[in-house]
Structure 1
Amino acid sequence: MTDDVILKIANVSKSFGAIRALKGVDFELRKGEIHALAGENGAGKSTLMNVIDGILQPDSGEIILGGEAVRITSPAVAQKLGIGLVHQEIALCPDVSVAENIFMAATNASRSFLMDYDGLRKKAKIVLEELADIDPATLVRDLSISSQQLVEIAKALTLDCRVLILDEPTAALTETEAQVLFAIMRRLADRGISIIYISHRMAEIFDNCDRVSVFRDGQYIVTYKLADIEPGDVVNAMVGRVIDKLYPEKQTAAERSEEIILKVDGLNEARRFHDISFELKKGEILGFAGLIGSG
């Protein structure tokens, strides 16, 4: 990581009617760094990323890329400027192949009258080799959610980015897939590519990022060098107060009840879940965990 600023956001604001999603936000991204963006839901992280990618237009403020003020009017313009965004929500075309999805932007810009499907598959295979064992000829609709997310990442890697934005990229990935992604991020940073990494997971931020910027209620709050702080510092900045206990005390033995309020037994739905059973007891909080698409 160098001290060279590749991307600077200066006093950017964005409103949706009466709702001020961004309020005079400042942000700096250095060349070759992995910079985390942290904040509660609604803090303005994704809105800012959509402004940088040209999906949204700011009401005021400047975007300075490589020392020059730029106006990013669409994602296509962002791609030409070397900015790639991997959304948390899958944005692929389900009825065409993995290879066609990965090189859709290049295909759209091509003036050729014929599609070289074999060439697309060969190029896609090279890109996918470092990410996952996915057949480039497979239709996207036949892939798991985690594989679709990896295709989204592969698509971004083909854009020759100067700035790569990853919005909650591990939400649908297994631990093994996430570790592969982190290794790729570090290799990209070593090549001078700058990465904005949005996540709620403190372990991922502290293990893989150089700095973290915290947003709250549409405002930029602070930027920390991660080597100098603890996870509690980030959490406190996110919520605006000191959190003494991230995990409050649970029910005592005397407070627990065996009274069953809700019981589900052998519940099935044709495509999404099978043989689901659980009990919810009076006064308890029952957690459900699983990857996106697990049901």
Structure 2
Amino acid sequence: MKPLKIGACLKIDEIATHRDWLFDAERDIELQSFMTRDALTVDRDDLIAAAKAALQGHRGRVGIHGPFEGLDIDNKDAELRPLITARFLSALEAAEAIGARQMVLHSPYTFWYKNNLLCKPNYAQKKLDRVHEVLGPVVDRAARAGITLVIENVQDVDPDTRRMMVDSFDSPAIALSIDTGHAHLARRMSGAPPVDYFVRDAGAQLQHVHIQDVDGHADRHWAPGEGEIEWIEVFRALAECPSAPHLVLELRRKSDIPQGFDYLSNLGLVI
């Protein structure tokens, strides 16, 4: 099994601390400074300028995490859906301005969805229709900008549900993201399959992975090796993936990035 190159998720002002590790090996970087209302309104131009300066000389791949709090991509309120679309478009413009090639958004699928799927007529289709209303203009704009929206599992139980949602757009501008910690939490809390199954189900649609470890109780964002995830099998699945997804450590304590990298490196899984 060939070891894979990994990078990290950071805010703009955190890049300098890990600059040598990131820049020397041309590692993937995901910027997490464009997720809030203020970041995408009053502060956006300043943040774009700061991001460009911080990334100067970086030759790896760049993405951003899009906004998500209160911005459900299947929002049932018809008056709010255009506002959510507008917020995503603002984030997409920031991504384009800094040269990012991906933007992470959150999945709308939950354990509640799974258990209520056949409880009401057309439950699944109505949800999918709302997703298309919100994301349709964003997918179209992303396609013109050469950016891929990657939909991250949060409370997803069946990985194929989110995959089919992505497939329904029939566009290269939308693909799949996997958060390893979220997948393992769903396994422990909702009976989801193990993390490697999420990877294998995604197949060629997998374009992005958040690497974090958990204890099965909360969204810890620990360094790999601190929780319960079976990393060898996860990376076996990633090695079989026909795409080349962005692989980024998404840790709560950025000071643990070297620890997490060393743990996976000592297993022979990453470089």
Normalization by structure 1: what TM-score? 0.36
Higher helix share: 2
When Rg is computed on C-alpha atoms for both structures, the one with the higher figure is 1
| Relative contact order higher in (CA < 8 Å, ≥ 6 apart) | 1
Normalization by structure 2: what TM-score? 0.38
Higher strand share: 1
